[in-house]
Amino acid sequence: MDRADLASSTTGKVGAGTFCTNHPGRSTMLRCNRCDKLMCTKCAQRTPVGYRCKDCVRGQQSLFETVLWRDYLVAAVIALFLSGLAGVLLISLGWFVIFLAPMVGGVIAEVIRRAVNRRRGRYLAYAAVGAMVLASLPNILSLNLWSLIYLLLAGSTVYAKLSGTSI
């Protein structure tokens, strides 16, 4: 079966309607497994259940976006306070920062998660890590190497835990 026969069997017309919905110049046979829209390989998003269009993936992801506007503020304030406090205490310990910073990052992330009632948001991790950078800025500007190491290790842990990234 050649392409023309395949196109006529799926759309009822030879060559008509076999173009990507978003890119009308690209011929395609790929369809979203949820809404059945035609899509090219650039528009296709691979999911565990098959290929879906970007609109269906975005709609599914928005169901998990439960964060409120004030949660960003709560996350930033908590991260600013706890990271500033931990940063001042940990940088005086020298190389122990390497072991303690990821643990502190995990504690900060868990405190934030509980303070926002486990609501999830795409930018919640950015608000927390941004506040951690602000809290560590005076120590970093004084060219303290351990404060930079603390920020990298604790900040990456907070980001991974709040963004849902699993290793």
Beta-carbon contacts of residue 61 (< 8 Å; ≥ 6 apart): 122
Helix (H, G, I), strand (E, B) or coil at 27: strand
Q: Are 101 and 149 in contact (CB under 8 A)?
A: yes
Task: Report the amino acid identity of residue 43.
Answer: C
What was the pLDDT predicted at 63?
Answer: 60
DSSP structural state of residue 23: -
Is-above-0.75 flag for pTM? no
Low-confidence spans in the chain with pLDDT less than 50: 1-14
So where are the chain's domains? 3-62, 69-163
Q: What is the pLDDT of residues 111-137, one digit of tens each?
A: 999 999 988 888 999 999 999 999 988
Q: Torsion angle of alpha carbons 163, 134, 84, 106, nearest 10°?
A: 10
Any idea which residue has 């900040």 for tokens?
Answer: 155
pLDDT for position 111: 96
